[in-house]
Structure 1
């Protein structure tokens, strides 16, 4: 039995998660949901990914928002 079986993020890349959230909310509303500068200061998928990959607490917030939005 796989431990990932009940993980709603299993098999999803951070890029996919961020892209879906961006398409759903847009940068301004995404920044309202999660107050992270990479969503307000010249935001892009590439720059946001770079920040989220090295900042665990921010990545956790993005993943939690994805789960609560799409699960």
Structure 2
């Protein structure tokens, strides 16, 4: 069994969960990145997050805080 709390979770699952929990507007205030505040969508956000390690880390950290 993996000790990684994100094991088995895709970035898309994490993002969808956060958007359902917070909504785009609140998510954009918690993590200040344009893909959450300027015409946000799951697909455009995933493209950005897959290329941008620091932003992906913030999303994963928020997910862990939200789901613990």
Please give the range of the TM-score, normalised by the shorter of the 2 chains.
over 0.9
| Aligned-partner SS, 1:7 | coil
When Rg is computed on C-alpha atoms for both structures, the one with the higher figure is 1
Q: What is the match of residue 27 of structure 1?
A: 24
**Structure 1: where are the runs of 5+ without partners?**
none
> Mapping of 1:2-17 within 5 angstroms?
5-17=2-14
**TM-score using structure 2 length:** 0.96
In 2, distance between residues paired with 1:31 and 1:19? 14
Select which of 34, 37, 46 maps to 1:37: 34
What is the count of residue pairs matched by the alignment?
Answer: 68
**TM-score using structure 1 length:** 0.92
After superposition, the CA RMSD in angstroms is 0.8
How big is the shift at 1:6? 1.5
Q: What is the match of residue 66 of structure 1?
A: 63
Q: What is the match of residue 53 of structure 1?
A: 50
